[in-house]
Amino acid sequence: MTWENLLLKPALPELLLGSLALVVLMVGSFIPKKRQHIVYALSLISIAICAIAQYWVYQQYPAPTYLFSHMFVVDAFSTFIKFALYATTALVFIYSRRYMNERNMLHSEYFVLSLFSLLGMNVMVSATHLLAMYMGLEILSLALYALIAFQHESPHALEAAIKYFVLGALASGFLLYGISMLYGATHTLDLYVMSQHILAKSYEPTLLMLGIVFILSGLAFKLGVVPFHMWVPDIYHGSPMAITLMISAAPKLATLGFIVRLLTQIFHDTPIDWQWMLVLLSVLSMTIGNIAAIAQTNIKRMLAYSTIAHMGFLLLGLIGNTSLSYSAAAFYMVTYVLMVLGVFGILLVLSNAEHECENLEDIKGLNQRNSGYALLLLLVMFSLAGTPPLLGFYAKFGVISAVVGLHLPGIDFSLTWLAVYAVMMSLIGAFYYLRIVKCAYMDDPIDTSPIHTDCVTVVLLSLNVFAILIAGVLPDFLIKACLDAILQSSILS
């Protein structure tokens, strides 16, 4: 081992993140409750330090660099996802500060658990070994279990936490069983070595097939796609709004990061038709997600089913199994996270100490109360519906284009029918998004109280939403960034 490897410089952001999370924990334990804003500021500073360290590491190691006996990699793709995770977590902290403070939940534990969940996500997207991936996933999951139950006096939050814990344990069992099957088939857990065994036809086909099915099932649970979706509406509804925002955004990015690495390094050259499994999951998710969302009057549950539908669209990009289709999936996920941050940020602003803005009635007459927030909500809803020229349109266009003319092994017809079906589902989904816009602009307000928030949140929320518009008009930069992250990384090597 060289001195440079001993210093573990490529893993500096993760080492800093774990250390700073412990610093936040210690500081929060010794300062009085009325000064928890210090912990809030320290948490944001910690994320900024880790982001700077990530940039420095990538400048020092532009080529894929491995650590810990080939279990951890720093490459363009993992760096791209990590920057998105840092920005997402920071925005969640800023958007949720007033909400958590009004409910007496702005404690150091909230920030510590969120930072540890961020650490788990970082490990996931850099994992090149199945045990390293599982370790990152469990760090993330354990932190989320506690965050969901953070409002411990709420029976809904406790119920949601128990449901997520039980179902999460089941999904972890699926993953571990799949990992054991892959180990039995190839006698290794290293993704690169495993891919070499598959290329050399040196594996047990039955065990490999079962391992692929179980691993995809476990990861499908983390994405919340049908039929592994039953936890999503209950967890979204039962959790505090700020925690719902955290769950709906950052973990999806981390899960996508590992799925792309898994598909490109292990499943890419297998003779097993795993793509048909993704086709089935995509069709079911788009159908059930969009249709079930129409019947919802609770906005959090509606957005939960909307998430299921969006994850169905995301899978379209993974079916293509090419660098272009994977970059389209990454572009879709970044776009989705931007939109989710926008819509939940607006709902957090509209909530107050006495009432949480989570029903359609709470949106009625928003344009009369505050035309600025009504405009922001309109832009986000139209983007979620996939209306041009907003970013959501180009995201859907990218993943739908990935399956047009695509032929899977063993069939004579293309998957163009799937693209047509996705467009139809997108039209159905537009109904419940436009219903929110209708409530904001065409109905009389039920609540006429003024909307209070701080200037920082207003500015960042406005930039967040207008980024959806500007990037929709000029999407080339983000599209190129996603494609470069795929092409310059280790996942296609």
* Rounded alpha-carbon distances, angstroms, from residue 307 to 161, 301, 324: 19, 10, 23
Cα–Cα nearest to 291, from 437, 427, 434: 427
Taking each continuous run of H as one helix and of E as one strand, the counts in the chain are 21, 2
Residue 349 to residue 453: CA distance in whole angstroms: 6
* Total length of the chain: 493
* pLDDT at 244 exceeding the cut of 50: yes
Q: At what angle do helices 476-487 and 323-350 cross, to 10 degrees?
A: 130
* pLDDT at 92 exceeding the cut of 90: yes
Q: Please tell me the predicted confidence (pLDDT) of residue 340.
A: 94
Q: Please tell me the predicted confidence (pLDDT) of residue 62.
A: 85
* pLDDT at 472 exceeding the cut of 80: yes
What's the average model confidence in pLDDT over 453-475? 89
> pLDDT tens digits for 341-350?
999 999 998 8
411 vs 388 pLDDT, higher one: 388
What's the average model confidence in pLDDT over 67-73? 86
> In angstroms, how far is CA 83 from the centroid of its own chain?
13
Q: Please tell me the predicted confidence (pLDDT) of residue 6.
A: 46
* pLDDT at 3 exceeding the cut of 70: no
Q: Please tell me the predicted confidence (pLDDT) of residue 491.
A: 63
Q: Please tell me the predicted confidence (pLDDT) of residue 381.
A: 93
> In angstroms, how far is CA 172 from the centroid of its own chain?
18
Q: Please tell me the predicted confidence (pLDDT) of residue 362.
A: 86
> Are 341 and 95 a contacting pair, CB within 8 Å?
yes
- For the record, the structure tokens of 156 come out as 């809904």
Kindly report the average pLDDT of the chain as a whole number. 87
Q: Please tell me the predicted confidence (pLDDT) of residue 302.
A: 92
- For the record, the structure tokens of 373 come out as 């927030």
Residue 138 to residue 348: CA distance in whole angstroms: 28
What's the average model confidence in pLDDT over 350-372? 85
Residue 34 to residue 255: CA distance in whole angstroms: 36
Q: Is 151 helix (H, G, I), strand (E, B) or coil?
A: coil
pLDDT band at 399 (very low <50, low <70, confident <90, very high): very high
Which DSSP string corresponds to 247-274? HHHHHHHHHHHHHHHHIIIIITT-SS-H
* Rounded alpha-carbon distances, angstroms, from residue 164 to 10, 217, 310: 34, 16, 20
Q: Which residues are bridge partners to 67 per DSSP? A: 72
What percent of the chain is modeled with pLDDT above 70?
96
Cα–Cα nearest to 259, from 189, 194, 330: 330
Residue 487's CB: how many other CB atoms inside 10 A?
A: 15
280's enclosing H/E stretch is helix 274-294
> pLDDT tens digits for 106-138?
888 899 999 999 999 999 999 989 999 999 999
Residue 6's CB: how many other CB atoms inside 10 A?
A: 8
* pLDDT at 492 exceeding the cut of 60: no
pLDDT band at 57 (very low <50, low <70, confident <90, very high): very high
Which amino acid, 118?
L
* pLDDT at 1 exceeding the cut of 60: no
Q: Please tell me the predicted confidence (pLDDT) of residue 169.
A: 87
Cα–Cα nearest to 238, from 294, 154, 126: 154
Q: Please tell me the predicted confidence (pLDDT) of residue 90.
A: 94
pLDDT band at 310 (very low <50, low <70, confident <90, very high): very high
* pLDDT at 471 exceeding the cut of 60: yes
pLDDT band at 490 (very low <50, low <70, confident <90, very high): low
> pLDDT tens digits for 252-303?
999 998 888 888 877 766 666 788 888 999 999 999 999 999 988 899 999 9
Residue 183's CB: how many other CB atoms inside 10 A?
A: 16
